[in-house]
Structure 1
Amino acid sequence: MLGLSLVAACEVVPTTSPPPAPKPAPQVQSDASRDLQIYYGRVQADLLARGLLRTDGGGPDTPYTPDMMARNFEQIAFYDEYASGGGLEPANGTAGKLRRWSGPVRVSVEYGASVSSDMRAQDTALVQGYVGRLASVTNHAISYNSGRPNFHVLVMGEDDKDQLARRLRQIIPGASTATMSLFLNVQRSIDCLVVAFSSEGNDHDYKKAVALVRSEHPDLMRKSCYHEEIAQGLGLANDSPTARPSIFNDDDEFALLTTHDESLLAILYDPRLQLGMSLEQARPVVHILAREQAGRIY
């Protein structure tokens, strides 16, 4: 999956309650939306035919050591694929500081009017279960909360563009033009995306996140988007070509969060690591935590 994870620091991110969810609207699907649905259906079929989008989480063919886990964590947690606030401008390749949520994470899923009732029911149950898993793995306050969310997952399609624009203005009224453009002019090659917003006083402390999942995706690709974007929105913002078995890798081998990925999230939220730590400060602790996680798995 080609997902996108960015950080928009110091934007105005007031807490907002979602408006009443619009009911599915009987409407004729546009040609643009239908074309995307056909395209992504073919993409998923091709990936599956090549043995990708695995849902087994890895096995004997994907061994890894604590040192490999620690290296993967460093690449995924301390580096960015794209420059902060710079749209799709590549990052400068230097290590940043440790970022994550210090406060509770309250996830909700909101749907475009074009999304069917069946998809809404299926996907809401899926995300609720996944959020519970993330809370257990990280030992952090992560919950599904549709009444007062600060992690908004927007499931919308090509025919929901006007609704998406209105909702973005409500959730992130201080968003930059570049951030708005990311959501409203998504390239077809980008399957889904998440932008995490930090507080004005601390660039490393996430306070709000917004993810976009295309409703035109077939079921497995949509599920993969939920797994990847929500996990990346917790602070594992980068991808690494050496991470395996992992969804934090653009090679599409794995569709769903793996045991290896659970370990990365557990390391990220371990209290022995502190917000704003540099890579050099964190590295000795990360190696200790990786060994502990390897012992838990094996």
Structure 2
Amino acid sequence: MSKALGLWALLSLAACDLIPQTATSPVPQARPEVAPPPPPPVVASNAQRSDASRALSVHYQRVQNDLVARGLLRTDGGGPDTAFTDTVLGRNFVRIALFDEFVATPTGLEARPTISRLRRWEQPIRFTIEHGATVPDDQRTRDANSITSYVNRLERVTGHPMSVGAANPNFHVLVLNEDDRLDYGPRLRALVPGIDETSLRAFLDVPRDTLCLVLAFSVDGSPNYSQAVALIRGEHPDLMRLACVHEELAQGLGLANDSPRARPSIFNDDEEFALLTTHDELLLQMLYDRRLQTGMTAAEAAPIARTIATELMNTGPS
């Protein structure tokens, strides 16, 4: 870690198995990016997958089938059964945007809800998509189309400038199978120079029930994000992979926490909804409303958030 510059990261883990969970935590010790990241390596898309990767595909297909059979992973965005009020929306915003679910300790991550500050991007977000060598061409095409479409939606909802494929990207979406991910340490170090071991290990030592994650970095403890890296497991079936894209990219914008009371929402551990909902679009609009200042405390942001929530409930999402 540089003696002059420190950098902390939001760590968001979207996990679902028998007990799905999402965790967020600030992770210390990394250096800011000092030069544009190198271009992605040129890799063939016909590399053979290992038995371990194929076994993960079977496992995640079973997980998705089970969730869908139980009426979860909904894609309808909510309906009459999930009505909410402006009071609920404002409360959910404070809980999701202004709290961390996990904190970093000397022994690792600890589940301890902790009040935080409002964090988001102030600079334009330039997304890039990288696939591992073992991800086939047809999946790469589907992923690129769905991620680009979703980024366009996020830009429209937030009013914040975003693009896919621009020069000097600062938000890297990595779609990797297990064989690709295990060898991605050098590439991750190139994307995030000075990345600390805690963040690196979070990326490389991912348990099976962690479906995806995002690391969002900012310099010197600033609440302004400067770069992010999202990991999407390539072994997921299409719906689960898309659900990971929706959750991790949105959390990487600054909606860092989950709340069991948030409904209809992807920011909830129950996996009821797979894709960004109308409720979640309103949260993103609130997050990037200029009446809220990056770095605000919960006490400062809450009354403004309540005012914005009331206005939005009267007009609906943009």
| TM-score, structure 1 as length reference | 0.94
Equivalent of 2:196, from 176, 201, 216?
176
More strand as a share of residues: 2
- Paired position in structure 2 for 1:214: 233
State the distance in 1 between where 2:23 and 2:183 align. 21
State the distance in 1 between where 2:76 and 2:198 align. 37
- Paired position in structure 2 for 1:295: 314
- Paired position in structure 2 for 1:81: 101
Equivalent of 1:255, from 274, 298, 311?
274
Letter in 2 for 1:205: N
Residue 286 of structure 2 is aligned to residue 286 of structure 1: no
**Offset of 1:166 from its aligned partner?**
1.9
Map 1:4-19 → 2, pairs under 5 A: 4-8=23-27, 11-14=30-33, 15-19=35-39
Structure 2: which 5+ residue stretches go unaligned? 1-13, 16-21
**Offset of 1:283 from its aligned partner?**
1.1
Letter in 2 for 1:11: A
Residue 174 of structure 2 is aligned to residue 154 of structure 1: yes
**CA 1:239/1:44 → structure 2, altered by over 3 Å: closer, same or farther?**
same
- Paired position in structure 1 for 2:289: 270
| TM-score, structure 2 as length reference | 0.88
State the distance in 1 between where 2:50 and 2:209 align. 20
Q: Decide which moves more: 159-168 or 183-192.
A: 159-168
Residue 274 of structure 2 is aligned to residue 226 of structure 1: no
**Is 1:82–1:89's contact at 8 Å kept on the other side of the alignment?**
yes
Residue 54 of structure 2 is aligned to residue 45 of structure 1: no
State the distance in 2 between where 1:180 and 1:78 align. 25
State the distance in 1 between where 2:47 and 2:297 align. 51
**Is 1:10–1:203's contact at 8 Å kept on the other side of the alignment?**
no
- Paired position in structure 2 for 1:240: 259
Q: Decide which moves more: 90-99 or 236-245.
A: 90-99
**CA 1:149/1:7 → structure 2, altered by over 3 Å: closer, same or farther?**
farther
**CA 1:85/1:172 → structure 2, altered by over 3 Å: closer, same or farther?**
farther
Q: Which whole-Å deviations, capped at 9, do the CAs of 1:23-64 have from their partners, x for residues lacking one?
A: 334333211101111000000000011110000000000010
Map 1:185-204 → 2, pairs under 5 A: 185-200=205-220, 202-204=221-223
- Paired position in structure 2 for 1:23: 43
How many residues are paired up? 297
Matched position secondary structure for 1:216: coil
Q: Tell me the C-alpha RMSD between the 2 structures.
A: 1.8
**Is 2:118–2:296's contact at 8 Å kept on the other side of the alignment?**
yes
